[in-house]
Structure 1
Amino acid sequence: MAQEENILEVRNLNVSFRVRGSEIEAIHDISLDLKKHETLAIVGESGSGKSVLIKTFTGMLEQNGRISHGTVSYKNQRLNELKTNKQWDKIRGKEIATIFQDPMTSLDPIHTIGSQISEVIIKHQGKSKKEAKKLAIELMERTGIPNAAQRYNEYPFEYSGGMRQRIVIAIALACRPEILVCDEPTTALDVTIQAQILDLIKELQQEYHFTIIFITHDLGVVASIADRIAVMYSGKIVEIGTSEEIFYDSRHPYTWSLLSSLPQLAKKGEELKSIPGTPPSLYKKIVGDAFAPRNSYAMSVDFKADPPMFKVTDTHYAKTWLLDQRAPQVEKPEQILNLHQHMLEMSADDFTKEETV
């Protein structure tokens, strides 16, 4: 991918929530660059802060949430300084659109599919009702809805889950956004439909030239779609790098754990790997590395001091004491030592299955 300018920049971002009279911090000192036309995946378990982070890009934090420190800049505009819905309307949807994981929460059940797409086109593109309908049908066709003209007047309940997700994508594209945020858009879908939706998003990106932020808890989902991957844990980015660096040269034990838990690596007759324990509570004060209690590679320093972000390459950084020059040399988990070969074998198997269908 050619070097592109930054379209979104996050600097030293902290997000906190007021809960039961206390201030709870959900995002801790995150800095992140999003390059124009790239696909950035943000991965981590539920509760790691992924969705909270992206809500700061569209002003969708809950009423008790606020950016307590840091900045979020889109095309050199400080988004953290926007206060009213009127100000956000120039960004939300029009510049940065979001696809959520459950399409039924995004679609109005009492309005037809076509009218919901047309409404967005009229609002953001200033088209007439006739023009909006024509464009809406074209978007329905482009996102894989068969007999789009006939199905324009149908309701959400008349569509399957996969078809509803395609409609949500069509609505997002109707805004002609610069950034498309995909918040676990395939979680509620079966594996076959997941693959179709991922292929569709990739095709549409090539056609419409938007930038993608893809949120997921499953590294396997983004293996074929992401240019870069940021791994989040307990409200922090603990590792970031190109897709190849994260899959084949990851350095953080949490990333190793996520990779080891990939269902694709499971062997017949063996127990599927999982990460022991649970993520830390936001109510609990963390001393040292938040992942230390679940980390089989943890050293005494992990329980005393939060590690800095170490540079691995110009594009790869990891927040672990294992990268300190004083740390002992350790071996990655056995499951991911030959991950590159496993991925090649999985790709070959998929190709063989397609050929025999």
Structure 2
Amino acid sequence: MTNSKNVILTARDIVVEFDVRDRVLTAIRGVSLDLIEGEVLALVGESGSGKSVLTKTFTGMLEENGRVASGTIDYRGQDLTALKSHKEWANIRGSKIATIFQDPMTSLDPIKTIGSQITEVIEKHQGKSAKEAKELAVDYMEKVGIPEAEKRFDEYPFQYSGGMRQRIVIAIALACRPDVLICDEPTTALDVTIQAQIIDLLKSLQQEYHFTTIFITHDLGVVASIADKVAVMYAGEVVEYGTVEEIFYDPRHPYTWSLLSSLPQLADEKGELYSIPGTPPSLYTPVKGDAFALRSDYAMQIDFEEHPPIFKVSDTHWAKTWLLHENAPTVHKPSVIEDLHEKIRSKVGFAQIDF
């Protein structure tokens, strides 16, 4: 959290619950975050840690059985948790806060041409005429790297490759002229080469249009390449937050250590990777103590008894771990992530990390 004057979205103590077969699952447990104008915030963590659920609260897109049970989300002076209907969300979703999803086919209409889907958004959000909208649509297509954009304007999604469809989804998001762009694992389904192209595209567009970005991923290589700040999520809460340099060079939470230790580039001579033992706790029942304690080699007795508060490391860096308490024993991060930057740089073919 920060006191910057350029905070455009503030989430405080967000709790999200889902009704599942007569039981209540608490997917988000007291998350607080500040989103800084013009920055890229990466949300990282294992599947099921709550990354996508959290950002859905910013666009009112929780499933019908889900709800924000408590907390506030302030977007430029407006409390988003007070919005209930699709009509109330219409002025926020897309035009102010837009989302790029993992699978572009969930965002594209298979029976409408690519061009019509972009022009529809331009006419709605920018108030342009049909002629103006087409000119802008072709321009957006060219900006996201669609070759022969004017010729491909009247083609359908099935005529585009997966990487090209993702570029079109990005073009549609740009056409909304959003204030905040949420990228929900937009490269996961693509091969490594296309992933790198999409990341480079997003970086260049962010620099050109100056929108604020939330980037959801489990790929820490991508995080190092694109993020300014990083929020590490585990079992529905943020357990560590800092600048990208702080998270990579000076991580403090054992879960962050584990995530970094499992980077593919740190595989041993046999090609074997570190994997985090055990499974996350059930979120159907209250979590006692530190949610990561049962999977951590560094857990102390207090980790099983009391939930750790925020311990400040610097003005931009904090972590929820009792290891930062003044009375905790001194422990060091795993040797495999010592000198992490040099170890990754020494791996041939991995050039994404560039602080």
**Normalization by structure 2: what TM-score?**
0.95
Please state how far the C-alpha of 1:4 moved relative to its aligned partner.
5.9
Give the Cα separation in 2 of the matches to 1:290 and 1:269: 32
Q: Secondary structure at the match of 1:288?
A: coil
- Matched residue, 2:65: 64
The one-letter code sitting in structure 2 at the alignment partner of 1:148 is: A
Give the Cα separation in 1 of the matches to 2:82 and 2:346: 49
Per-residue CA deviations over 1:135-172 (Å, capped at 9, x if unaligned) read: 10000000000000000011111111110000000000
Q: After superposing the two structures, state which structure 1 stretch, 237-246 or 265-274, moved more.
A: 265-274
Per-residue CA deviations over 1:278-319 (Å, capped at 9, x if unaligned) read: 112222432111111110111111111111110000100000
The one-letter code sitting in structure 1 at the alignment partner of 2:14 is: L
Please state how far the C-alpha of 1:24 moved relative to its aligned partner.
2.2
Per-residue CA deviations over 1:241-277 (Å, capped at 9, x if unaligned) read: 0000000000000000000000012233241111111
Give the Cα separation in 1 of the matches to 2:320 and 2:220: 18
Task: Give the unaligned 5+ runs of structure 2.
Answer: none
Q: Secondary structure at the match of 2:346?
A: helix
| Mapping 1:71-220, distance limit 5 Å | 71-220=72-221
Identity of aligned residues (%): 68
| Mapping 1:283-298, distance limit 5 Å | 283-298=284-299
Calculate the aligned-residue CA RMSD, in Å.
Answer: 1.3
- Matched residue, 2:225: 224
Please state how far the C-alpha of 1:349 moved relative to its aligned partner.
5.6
The one-letter code sitting in structure 1 at the alignment partner of 2:329 is: P
Please state how far the C-alpha of 1:131 moved relative to its aligned partner.
1.0
Give the Cα separation in 1 of the matches to 2:80 and 2:95: 14
- Matched residue, 1:52: 53
- Matched residue, 1:242: 243
Please state how far the C-alpha of 1:340 moved relative to its aligned partner.
2.4
The one-letter code sitting in structure 2 at the alignment partner of 1:140 is: M
**Normalization by structure 1: what TM-score?**
0.95
Per-residue CA deviations over 1:310-349 (Å, capped at 9, x if unaligned) read: 0000100000010011111112111101112224435x86
Q: Are 1:310 and 2:311 an aligned pair?
A: yes
Please state how far the C-alpha of 1:23 moved relative to its aligned partner.
2.5
The one-letter code sitting in structure 2 at the alignment partner of 1:188 is: A
Whether the 8 Å CA contact 1:43–1:231 is kept in 2: the answer is yes
Whether the 8 Å CA contact 2:119–2:134 is kept in 1: the answer is yes
Whether the 8 Å CA contact 1:4–1:37 is kept in 2: the answer is no
Give the Cα separation in 2 of the matches to 1:125 and 1:11: 32
Give the Cα separation in 2 of the matches to 1:220 and 1:296: 24
